[in-house]
Amino acid sequence: MEGGMASRIGQRMRRLRNNDVLRGMLSETRLDAGEFVAPVFVRHGRHVVEEVGAMPGVHRYSHDTVGRYAAQLADCGIKSMLIFGIPKSKDSVGSHAYASSGVVPAAIRAVHDSVPSMVVMADVCLCEYTAHGHCGVLKGRNVDNDRTLPLLARAAVQYAKAGADVVAPSAMMDGQVAAIRAGLDLHGYEDTLIMGYSAKYASSFYGPFRSAAGSAPSFGNRRSYQMNPANAREAMREIELDIREGADMVMVKPAIGFLDVISEARKRFDAPLVGYNVSGEYAMVKAASQNGWLDGMAAAEEILMSIKRAGADLVITYHAEELARHMKGK
């Protein structure tokens, strides 16, 4: 009787999952460290390697220690880094973002000296450099979109001059990609790529990053320029605009809570698509894993797999080094 019942099951899905080799061969999505981008915080000073409190395993470096870190990343198969600068001092117009003597140009040169093939991406924003912590210059208590654009373009040109392969505007100012493209081309950097933080949401998951970079706004919040997490269709308009303005790659950020946005963007656009697995998403996994509540590496693998499965080509993630090592069995 039981045999008769069972024989009516024509499709036994479990046949496809019966052993490791089959499961591996039939895997629709694979993780490859060459598709991870490792974010890195670079600050002023020397001999600095200091752990970020809210991000265990993530460190701030100075220009003289970041080259060694780049070599470590390359050793585990990582091909790209995204650099964030933490300047010595801040002012109302974020001068250190576009100073030729800034921390970011020095870090870009140090990384390329150490690993010439490393694809160096540089975040372009003013929030780490302004005393008020907003992503642009202020007019009263509002961020002045149009007066911010030339400053972002100046920063991008400085980073391109130092050798950045990719500049990544994250300020969410309207027209920032076009302004940066024009600035780069004018100065002879027509081969420098732009990765737009196209659909960047006003998210609470940036908390650990802001403590790492000291970039929390001193008043208000970023909701007047970053996107409302309730909106997915609006993200498609943002991405479309960035591509029209000249972005070579587009991004959805954060990634985990916005997999639907990644998936829809993948269907609509053919440009390379990047998912940013942000600081709060990393910190949650780390905190739970440090408490023994879950297996951190398995969770990270699952998360990155989901971001790729949704349609991202590249994933920016603080798990990059540890996971790449784990995948290599190092």
Binding mask 79-118 for ligand PBG (x = CB under 6 A): ----------------------------------------
- Shortest spacing between CB 218 and ligand PBG, in angstroms: 13
65 counts as binding ligand PBG under rule CB under 6 A: no
Of 36, 41, 209, 225, the residue at the interface with ligand PBG (CB under 6 A) is 209
Of 279, 283, 285, 306, the residue at the interface with ligand PBG (CB under 6 A) is 279
210-269 binders of ligand PBG (CB under 6 A): 210
- Shortest spacing between CB 104 and ligand PBG, in angstroms: 12
- Assign 199 to helix, strand or coil: strand
- Shortest spacing between CB 41 and ligand PBG, in angstroms: 10
Binding mask 111-130 for ligand PBG (x = CB under 6 A): ------------x-x-x---
For the record, the structure tokens of 248 come out as 């070579």
Of 61, 69, 159, 206, the residue at the interface with ligand PBG (CB under 6 A) is 206
CA-wise closest residue to 155 among 165, 138, 167, 166:
167
Question: Amino acid identity of 81?
Answer: M
How would you label 3-12 residue by residue, b for 16+ Cβ within 10 Å and e otherwise?
eeeeeeeeee
- Assign 260 to helix, strand or coil: helix
142-201 binders of ligand PBG (CB under 6 A): 170
Instruction: Using the minimum distance from each CB to ligand PBG, give the nearer residue, 88 or 268.
Output: 88
Q: 74 - beta bridge partners?
A: none
Instruction: Using the minimum distance from each CB to ligand PBG, give the nearer residue, 212 or 273.
Output: 212
317 counts as binding ligand PBG under rule CB under 6 A: no
Q: Please report which residue ranges of the chain form alpha helices under DSSP H.
A: 2-7, 20-25, 66-75, 103-114, 145-161, 176-186, 207-213, 233-245, 259-268, 279-290, 296-310, 320-328
Q: Compute the half-sphere exposure of residue 211: CA atoms within 13 Å on the CB side of its CA.
A: 14
Measured between its terminal Cα atoms, the distance across the chain in Å is: 52
Applying CB under 6 A, which part among 106-114, 183-191, 205-213, 267-275 lies near ligand PBG?
A: 205-213
- Measured distance CA(321)–CA(58) in Å, rounded: 10
Applying CB under 6 A, which part among 4-12, 85-93, 203-211, 267-275 lies near ligand PBG?
A: 203-211
Query: So which residues are the catalytic ones?
Result: 200, 253
For the record, the structure tokens of 328 come out as 């290599």
41 counts as binding ligand PBG under rule CB under 6 A: no
- Shortest spacing between CB 251 and ligand PBG, in angstroms: 10
For the record, the structure tokens of 300 come out as 């990270």
Rounded to whole angstroms, the maximal C-alpha distance in the chain is 81
Residue 186: CB atoms within 10 Å? 11
- Measured distance CA(82)–CA(79) in Å, rounded: 11
For ligand PBG (CB under 6 A), the number of binding residues is 9
Instruction: Using the minimum distance from each CB to ligand PBG, give the nearer residue, 11 or 218.
Output: 218
Contacts to ligand PBG by CB under 6 A: 123, 125, 127, 170, 206, 209-210, 278-279
